[in-house]
Structure 1
Amino acid sequence: MHTSSTSNTLNLGILAHVDAGKTSLTERLLHAAGVIDEIGRVDAGNTQTDSLALERQRGITIKSAVVSFAVDDVTVNLIDTPGHPDFIAEVERVLSVLDGAVLVISAVEGVQAQTRVLMRTLRRLCIPTIVFVNKIDRRGARYDQTLRGIARRLVPDIVPMGTVTAPGTRDGAFVPYAAGDPAFTARLVDVLSAHDDALLSAYVDDEAGLSPGRLRAALGTQTGQALVHPVFFGSAATGAGIGELMAGIRELLPAEDGTPRAGDPVSGTVFKVERGDAGEKVAYVRMFAGTVRTRDRLPFGGGREGKVTAVSVFDRGSAAAREGVSAGQIGKLWGLGDIRIGDVVGVPHARRGGDGQHFFSPPTLETVVVPVRPGDRGALHLALAQLAEQDPLINLRQGDLRQEVYVSLYGEVQKEVIQATLLDEYGIDVTFRETTTICVERVTGSGSAFEIIDKDDNPFLATVGLRVDPGPPDSGVEFRLEVELGSMPYAFFRAVEETVRETLLQGVHGWEVGDCVVTMTHSGYWPRQSHAHGTFDKSMSSTAGDFRQLTPLVLLSALRRAGTEVHEPLHRFGLSVPDDVFGQLLPALSRLRAVPHAQTAHGTSYLVEGEIPAARVHELEQLLPSLTRGEGELESAFERYQPVPGEPPNRPRTDRNPLCRKEYLREVAGVRR
C-alpha cells in the first residue's frame, strides 16, 4: 500500500456491540497497511490497542485507543472504542472528534442492542458511517438475513457493496459488485435518488446517461453527508473483504485537508486524558484549526492556560515526537496540569460536542467504594480523583462527614474494572457497597427564603434571598438576579451562584435537582473595614466565605417550601422470547414494575416492547435465562425519568446538611455564635 507523506487526514472511529470484532478488525487494518508485521489476537492479549492489563485479561476494550495508518494519500487516525455498554462514556468522548465511522456487525449475531444505540447516535450527529459485517467465516454467518436486519432495525438507506460466497466457512469471501452490475446500479439509483431529485430526473429522462462514475461520485457525496450507508462484508480473522473496506474508507468517507492556513487561530478538543509513566497528565487533542507547538502558552477550558512541554502526533502506527500538531491531526500534549476531558484548546470550533452536550444517557447507578484497609482511605480518594480525570462521568463525590466515596456507574462490569485498576495501579484493595439507582429531584412549585445581615440568628455577614421555580424540561439550572448587579462586589454574586449550583447536587431528599430557575431576590454586605492601625477586621467585613456558607441554608429553605418530587430513571426495553413462554413472561414483568406497550408476533417468537425502572433491569437480565430456556434476548436503554410511586427514597447526604440548621452551624468551621 502506498504510504507517501500527505496532509489529508481522516479521523475514523471503529464502533460496535461487544464481541463483534472491532479490535480484531483494527489489527487486520494495521497489518494490511504495513504498520504491523504480525496480527495480534484479542484472546491472546497481544493487540495494539488493548494495552491495559485488564483489557488483555478480559479480552474487551475498556479505554479508547488511537493508532494511525496510511491508505494511499490519506492518513487514517483510527480510534478503537469499547463495545461493552458499561463503557459507553469512552465512546461518547470520541464522537465529537470523528470525521467518519465504521460500525461493525457480526454476521452471526446480526444487529444487537448496542449496535442500535450507536447507530441512532451516529445518525443524530450526522457522522458519515460505513457498515462492516464481520465474521463471514464463522459457522452461522448469514448474508441476506443480516442485510434485512440492518435495513429493518438500524437504517433503511443502505447500499450492499458486494455479495458473499461460502459464508460460514474458512473460505468465505467478499465479492464486490462490478461498476456496471445491473442489480447494483438499480439499488444505487433507488437509494441515492431518494435524496437527489436531479439524479432521479436524469434516470427518468435517460437511464443510459447515468454512468457508473456519476453514481459512484453520488454515493461518495451522500455517504459523506451521512444520508446513505455502504455495507461491506468480510472477516478480520481471515482478511476477507479487508482490501475492499480500506478502499471504501479512502473513497467514501470525507478526509480533511490539514494544510495549515496562515492566521488560523488554534482550535481543538481534548477527548482523552491519561497519566504518563512519571504520573504526569497527557492530553489527547483533535485539532480543528491552527497549530500547537512545543513551548506554546496554550489557553484551554475557558480561562485556564499552561505551557506545552512536549508534543507527539499519530502517524503510521503510534504517536511520534513532533514539534507541533496541526489541523486535522490527533496529538498528545504534555505540560498542561489542569487540562480536563472535554476542554476546548484555543478558541471554540463550530463542531458537535463543543458545548459539553451528552450524546448518550447519564449513568443511572451509584455505589460506595470502601478500602479493605482503613488506612488506605486518603490514598483511595487520590486514586479515584485520578480515575475521574480519565472518566468524568463516574461523578466522584465524597461525604464531608463520614468520608465515604461514591462513584456513578453504568453497570457491574465497570465496578469490576475500577476494583482491578485500583489494585493493579495503586495497590489499593477495595470492596463495594450495594449498587443503588441514581434518582433526580424535580421542583414542583415556587418557594422563597431570605436571611438579613445582622438580623435574627444569622451568624454570617451577608444578606441572601433566593426564589426557586420550576424550569423547562432538560434546561438544567438557571441563575437570575432581581437585585442590582452593582449592589455588592461581583465576587459575592459569583460566590452565591457557584454555591447554588453546588448545593443543588443534593436536594431535599439528597438527589440532584435540575430543570429549575433560582433567582436572587435579596443582597447585602458590610464593606471592608479596618482597625485604626489599618489591619483588616474580619469580624466587621463581609467576605465571599460568608455568602458561600449562608447560601445553602437559604436555598434549601426555599427548596423545601417550593417542594420537590423524586424521579427514577426509566428504560425502554425490547424483549424477544419464544412464543410458548410468552404467557409466563407477563407476570414476571409485572412483578418488576415493567409496563409492556407493544407485543408483536414474529414467526415462533414474540417481541415485547415497553418501559421498566432502571433499578429492575439487572433483575430481568438474571431472570431471563430461566424464564426463556436461554433463548430470550433483551435490549434496554435509558428513556426518561418518571415520579417514584409511594414514599420517595432518600439518598445519604455528603454535605453538612443545611436542612438541619443547628447541625449545619455546628459543622461549619469559623461560624460566629
Structure 2
Amino acid sequence: MAENKVLTIGILAHVDAGKTSLTECLLHQAGATKALGSVDKGSAITDALAMEKSRGISIKASSVNFLWKGTTFQLVDTPGHLDFAAEVDRSLSILDGVILVVSAKEGVQAHTLNLWESLKERKLPVIIFFNKIDRDGVELEQVFSDFQKELDAKLFAINLPKITHEQVELIPMAEAKGFDSYILEQSLENLAECDEAFMEAYLGGQTDDLQRIQHLATPYIKNQMLQTAIFGSAKLGIGIEALLQELEQKVPEARQSYEKISARVFKVEYHDKLGRLSYLKSYGATIKTKDSIYSQQLEREIKVNQIFKAEASGLEQVTELQTGEIGLVTTSEAIQAGDVLGTSKIADGFTPISHAVLGVEVKPLEDKDYQKLGEALEILHMEDPVLDFRWFKEEREFHIKILGPIQTEVLKDSLQERWGIAAEFLQPQVIYKETPTKAAEGYVRYWMPKPCWAIMTFLIEPAPAGSGVEFENTVRTSDVSNKYINEVKRAIPWTLKQGIHGYEVTDIKITLLAGEEHTVHSNPGDFLLATPMGVMRALENAGTDLLEPMYAFEIKAHQELLGAISGDLNQMHAQIESPLFEGEYFSMKGRVAVAEAMDYSIQFNATTSGKGRLKLTLDGYEKTSFSEEKTRAYKGVSPLNESQWILHMRGAFKADDRMMS
C-alpha cells in the first residue's frame, strides 16, 4: 500500500455548474498550485486540450494529484456534457468517492439526475457541493429542498449560508446555535429519521449541542444513509476547506484489492512527446517499470515501458505504482480505454449513463487525406471505444457511433487540430437493431478447397426483448473438439455486427445442433470462417424484424408551457403519461422513438427559453416497420456470398480488415 492514505475522488456535474473551477480551487487550497487556474482565461490545469481552453468546457476526463494533511488526493475532473458521458462512465469505475457539484442558481438539472442514478447504483460515497451561492437571485433553501425531493436524498449540511447584500458568509454547523434556517432544521430531521436515540432528543427540542449532533451524523454519512451537503463558491474560494475536510474524514480508501497485479485502464490519450499514454488505477500488487501484464482485451501479455504520475506541476516519472494509485503508462502494445490488466475479474457491470444510438459517416474533404483519416479515427477509437469505428475499405467509408451533435463538433475540431485533416460528418442516422422473426436452421459445409473441413448446423430462435445473445452447444466433443467450439464462440459476436438488413442482431438464441471435424484437414480457422456463413444462412431463412431505440423522457416546466410541449410530443407520436402539477410547474413522463426525438432538446430549450428540464434516457428497443430510409446495405463482404467470403477470409482480398478486430 502507498505510504499516505490515497483517495480517488471524481468531480461530476451538469455542464457549467463549476466543476473545473472547483478543481482549481482544491489544488490552490492544498498548496499544489501557486496561482488559481481559470476556465475563462484558459489556464485551468485539468483542461489541457486546446479545444477545452477555447470552448471553456471539459471534453476529456483528467487526473491530477495533490497532498493535503497526509492524504494523497487523486482528483478526476470529468466532462459535464451528456455527449461525453462515456468518459464519465469509465472514470466512475475507478473512484472511491464523488463530489457532485450543483449550481445554486440552476439547481437540479437533467444531467444531475443521470449522474445521481449512476452514483446510487454504484453505491459511491457522494458529497454534494452547492456552488455559485454568490450569484444574484439564488434561493438556497429551495435548491436544497428540490435536491432532496427530486433525487430522493437525505442531506446533512455541515455549513449554513448567510447571504446579505454586503457579503456571503458560511457558518459551520457546529457553530450555528440559534441560527434560524430551514436547511439546518431539515438536516436535523434527516438525522433523526436515521437515529432513534436522536429522534427522541430532536422531538424534545434538545438540539443545542450541534458539535455533538454533527459527530452523530458521521456514521450515517459513511454508510450513505445521509449525504453531506456543503455550500460554497469556487469563484470566491469559500467552502473549499470544509470540502477537503469532509473528503479526508468521510470517504474510505479503495474497496477492491487483489494479491496479484490488477489494474483498470480508464483513459487513453496521445502525448506530443511521450506518444500513447494509458491512465490506469492499480488494485493489486505493485506495478513496476518493465513488468509484463496480461491485457484482457488483447488476450496477451503487454510490457510496461514507463510510468508517470499526474501532479499539478506536470507529469512526474516514477518506477512503480502501488495499490490504489493512478498512473499514466506507456506500453509495448496499443491497449484501449476500458481494458483490465491482470487476470483478476474487476467487475464493472453497471448501467452506462448514456448509449450511442446514432451513427455518423465521416468523409475527408480532400481525397488525399483518406488513409490519414482512417488512421486518425483508429486512434480516436482507441481513446474512446464507444465510437466503435469501422473502416469499410471496399466502399471507402468510415463509420462511427456518437452520443450527440456536440461530440461530432469536437471530433471535427480534433481531426483538424491534431492531424490537420479537414473532415465532413454526415447527418447522424439512428442505429437500429435486428432480431429473428422466427426459428430457422442454417447449414454450412466448408470443405473445399482443401486443406479445410468444417461442417455445422445452427438453429437460431427469437429470444426475449433485452436478452442479447445466447449461445448453446449440443454437439459432442467426439464430433467437434472444444478448441473448434471456442472458435465458433469467438466468431459469433462479430458475425452478428450486421444482419441481413445491415444492423446488429440481438435478442437471439443460437444453438449448434450438429457438426463435424476432420482429423487431418480441420484447423481452428475453418470454424472461424464457417460460423458466419451458417449463422447468416439461418438468419436469411428466419427473416428479421427491425428494432428501433426508444427514449424514456422526463419533463419539468412551467404550467403555461404544457400545451406547447404536449403538442410537440404528440407530433413525435410519443407515449405520454398524465402530467403531475405542483405549484406553477408540471412534470411529465413517457416514451418516444429516438428517431423522432433526435433534435428535440434544441426545440425544447427554445420553447422553454432554457428554463425547462428535459431528461432523455435510452429505454430499450421496440419492433418497428421496415422502410427504405431505415434499411441499409451490408458493408464489406457478406458471408452469404460464400465464394467471395472464403476468398476474403483466406486473404485473397481484404474488403474490411477491421472485421476481425
Asked if the contact 2:177–2:208 (Cα under 8 Å) also holds between the matched residues in 1, the reply is no
Partner of residue 532, structure 1: none
Partner of residue 272, structure 2: 277
Partner of residue 331, structure 1: 327
Q: How do 1:516-665 residues align onto structure 2 when only pairs under 5 Å count?
A: 516-528=508-520, 541-624=521-604, 627-628=607-608, 631-645=611-625, 647=627, 649-660=630-641, 664=645
- The whole-number CA distance in structure 1 between the counterparts of 2:189 and 2:452 is 73
Partner of residue 533, structure 1: none
What are the Cα deviations for residues 352-403 of structure 1, in whole angstroms up to 9, with x where unaligned? 51x5x54323211110010111122221111111111110001111225203
Percent identity for Structure 1 against Structure 2: 29
Asked if the contact 2:62–2:77 (Cα under 8 Å) also holds between the matched residues in 1, the reply is yes
Asked if the contact 1:283–1:333 (Cα under 8 Å) also holds between the matched residues in 2, the reply is yes
Asked if the contact 2:65–2:310 (Cα under 8 Å) also holds between the matched residues in 1, the reply is yes
Which of the numbers 263, 274, 295 marks the counterpart of 1:300?
295
- The whole-number CA distance in structure 2 between the counterparts of 1:53 and 1:544 is 48
- The whole-number CA distance in structure 2 between the counterparts of 1:39 and 1:139 is 23
Query: Is 1:266 equivalent to 2:261 in the alignment?
Result: yes
For 1:71, the aligned partner's letter is: W
Taking structure 1 as reference, are residues 670 and 291 closer, same or farther at Cα in structure 2, changes over 3 Å only?
Answer: closer
For 1:332, the aligned partner's letter is: L
Partner of residue 400, structure 2: 407
Query: Is 1:119 equivalent to 2:116 in the alignment?
Result: yes
For 2:235, the aligned partner's letter is: A
For 1:636, the aligned partner's letter is: L
Asked if the contact 2:33–2:312 (Cα under 8 Å) also holds between the matched residues in 1, the reply is no
State the Cα distance separating 1:443 from its structure 2 match. Answer: 3.2
State the Cα distance separating 1:317 from its structure 2 match. Answer: 5.4
Query: Is 1:386 equivalent to 2:379 in the alignment?
Result: yes
Asked if the contact 1:567–1:643 (Cα under 8 Å) also holds between the matched residues in 2, the reply is yes
State the Cα distance separating 1:10 from its structure 2 match. Answer: 0.9
- The whole-number CA distance in structure 1 between the counterparts of 2:583 and 2:211 is 42
Partner of residue 655, structure 2: none
Bigger Cα displacement from structure 2, 635-644 vs 378-387? 635-644
Taking structure 1 as reference, are residues 216 and 605 closer, same or farther at Cα in structure 2, changes over 3 Å only?
Answer: closer
Which of the numbers 21, 27, 31 marks the counterpart of 2:28?
31
Per the normalisation by structure 1, the TM-score is: 0.88
What are the Cα deviations for residues 239-281 of structure 1, in whole angstroms up to 9, with x where unaligned? 12112222222222223599xx9x9322221111122334633
Partner of residue 534, structure 1: none
Taking structure 1 as reference, are residues 239 and 205 closer, same or farther at Cα in structure 2, changes over 3 Å only?
Answer: closer
For 1:608, the aligned partner's letter is: M
Taking structure 1 as reference, are residues 299 and 218 closer, same or farther at Cα in structure 2, changes over 3 Å only?
Answer: farther
Partner of residue 346, structure 1: 342
Q: How do 1:87-486 residues align onto structure 2 when only pairs under 5 Å count?
A: 87-166=84-163, 171-178=167-174, 181=177, 187=186, 190-195=189-194, 199=197, 215-255=213-253, 264-278=259-273, 280-301=275-296, 303-314=299-310, 318-348=314-344, 352-353=347-348, 357-452=350-445, 461-486=453-478
- The whole-number CA distance in structure 2 between the counterparts of 1:221 and 1:625 is 42
Taking structure 1 as reference, are residues 345 and 629 closer, same or farther at Cα in structure 2, changes over 3 Å only?
Answer: closer
Partner of residue 656, structure 2: none
State the Cα distance separating 1:6 from its structure 2 match. Answer: 4.7
Query: Is 1:43 equivalent to 2:46 in the alignment?
Result: no
Partner of residue 536, structure 1: none
Partner of residue 53, structure 1: 50
Taking structure 1 as reference, are residues 553 and 307 closer, same or farther at Cα in structure 2, changes over 3 Å only?
Answer: closer
What are the Cα deviations for residues 560-581 of structure 1, in whole angstroms up to 9, with x where unaligned? 3334322211112223344334
Taking structure 1 as reference, are residues 593 and 131 closer, same or farther at Cα in structure 2, changes over 3 Å only?
Answer: same
For 1:575, the aligned partner's letter is: I
For 1:273, the aligned partner's letter is: V
Taking structure 1 as reference, are residues 380 and 497 closer, same or farther at Cα in structure 2, changes over 3 Å only?
Answer: same
State the Cα distance separating 1:206 from its structure 2 match. Answer: 10
SS in 1 for 2:127: strand
For 2:507, the aligned partner's letter is: D
Asked if the contact 1:600–1:607 (Cα under 8 Å) also holds between the matched residues in 2, the reply is yes
State the Cα distance separating 1:510 from its structure 2 match. Answer: 1.6
Bigger Cα displacement from structure 2, 646-655 vs 123-132? 646-655
What are the Cα deviations for residues 319-355 of structure 1, in whole angstroms up to 9, with x where unaligned? 42222110121112222414222222224265x51x5
For 2:383, the aligned partner's letter is: Q
Asked if the contact 2:296–2:341 (Cα under 8 Å) also holds between the matched residues in 1, the reply is yes
What are the Cα deviations for residues 184-237 of structure 1, in whole angstroms up to 9, with x where unaligned? 88655542454456x558859999799766644453333233322111111101
Runs (5+) with no aligned partner, structure 2:
653-661
- The whole-number CA distance in structure 2 between the counterparts of 1:97 and 1:594 is 38
SS in 2 for 1:289: coil
Asked if the contact 2:291–2:304 (Cα under 8 Å) also holds between the matched residues in 1, the reply is yes
- The whole-number CA distance in structure 1 between the counterparts of 2:234 and 2:199 is 41
Asked if the contact 1:8–1:256 (Cα under 8 Å) also holds between the matched residues in 2, the reply is no
Asked if the contact 1:13–1:101 (Cα under 8 Å) also holds between the matched residues in 2, the reply is yes
State the Cα distance separating 1:178 from its structure 2 match. Answer: 1.7
For 1:237, the aligned partner's letter is: K
Per the normalisation by structure 2, the TM-score is: 0.90
- What CA RMSD, in Å, does the superposition of the two structures yield over aligned residues? 3.1
Taking structure 1 as reference, are residues 219 and 564 closer, same or farther at Cα in structure 2, changes over 3 Å only?
Answer: farther
- The whole-number CA distance in structure 2 between the counterparts of 1:84 and 1:670 is 43
Asked if the contact 1:14–1:22 (Cα under 8 Å) also holds between the matched residues in 2, the reply is yes
Bigger Cα displacement from structure 2, 180-189 vs 508-517? 180-189
Partner of residue 504, structure 2: 512
State the Cα distance separating 1:440 from its structure 2 match. Answer: 1.7
State the Cα distance separating 1:179 from its structure 2 match. Answer: 5.9
Taking structure 1 as reference, are residues 233 and 200 closer, same or farther at Cα in structure 2, changes over 3 Å only?
Answer: closer
- The whole-number CA distance in structure 1 between the counterparts of 2:458 and 2:541 is 12
State the Cα distance separating 1:297 from its structure 2 match. Answer: 2.0
- The whole-number CA distance in structure 1 between the counterparts of 2:425 and 2:436 is 32
What are the Cα deviations for residues 590-649 of structure 1, in whole angstroms up to 9, with x where unaligned? 111222213123333433322221223243233335544665442222222222246482
For 2:248, the aligned partner's letter is: R
Asked if the contact 2:554–2:614 (Cα under 8 Å) also holds between the matched residues in 1, the reply is yes
Asked if the contact 1:503–1:552 (Cα under 8 Å) also holds between the matched residues in 2, the reply is yes
For 2:306, the aligned partner's letter is: A
Bigger Cα displacement from structure 2, 7-16 vs 586-595? 586-595
For 1:499, the aligned partner's letter is: A
Bigger Cα displacement from structure 2, 374-383 vs 207-216? 207-216
State the Cα distance separating 1:406 from its structure 2 match. Answer: 0.6
Bigger Cα displacement from structure 2, 55-64 vs 302-311? 302-311
Asked if the contact 2:502–2:631 (Cα under 8 Å) also holds between the matched residues in 1, the reply is yes
- The whole-number CA distance in structure 2 between the counterparts of 1:256 and 1:463 is 50
- The whole-number CA distance in structure 2 between the counterparts of 1:661 and 1:255 is 56
Asked if the contact 1:304–1:338 (Cα under 8 Å) also holds between the matched residues in 2, the reply is no
What are the Cα deviations for residues 408-436 of structure 1, in whole angstroms up to 9, with x where unaligned? 00001100111111111111110011101
Partner of residue 531, structure 1: none
Partner of residue 13, structure 1: 10
Bigger Cα displacement from structure 2, 11-20 vs 304-313? 304-313
Taking structure 1 as reference, are residues 633 and 521 closer, same or farther at Cα in structure 2, changes over 3 Å only?
Answer: same
State the Cα distance separating 1:156 from its structure 2 match. Answer: 2.6
State the Cα distance separating 1:514 from its structure 2 match. Answer: 2.1
